[in-house]
Structure 1
Amino acid sequence: MQVKPESCIAVGDREYDVLAGKKAGSLTALVLRDSFSVYEKIKPDYILKSLEELPDIIRPPRSPEKK
């Protein structure tokens, strides 16, 4: 797959998941397992309460319907 890291998002529930994504040059999303204060220092691009929120951040925004 010839995909540029900056067009990807690394999703994980551990500190090292976010750090690996940042090192690769990707956006990062952290799925919370514990208190966010534990993860504040790693500064993920997105914080998710569950994986069910993932489509909301990867889906392109819809344009308003034209009449």
Structure 2
Amino acid sequence: MIRLLVGVLLVGAVTYGLMNRDKVGDLKAEAIFKEEVEKVENIKLQIERDAQERVRQIDEQTGQ
């Protein structure tokens, strides 16, 4: 009877651990995705700033 109880508890603990591991993996993947999105947004903003600066330089050169 005790062996059965220990076995059931062990299976429950392993199952619980595996479920939480998946959740942790999902959270890590979500964090990595958010970092990559932030990098892309920063690159986009930098490109926009560079383009605005280039337009300003061209306007100055042409005298507008």
TM-score normalised according to structure 2 size:
0.17
Q: TM-score, normalised by structure 1?
A: 0.17
Bigger CA radius of gyration: 2
Larger RCO (CA under 8 A, 6+ residues apart): 1
Which is richer in strand? Answer: 1
More helix by share: 2
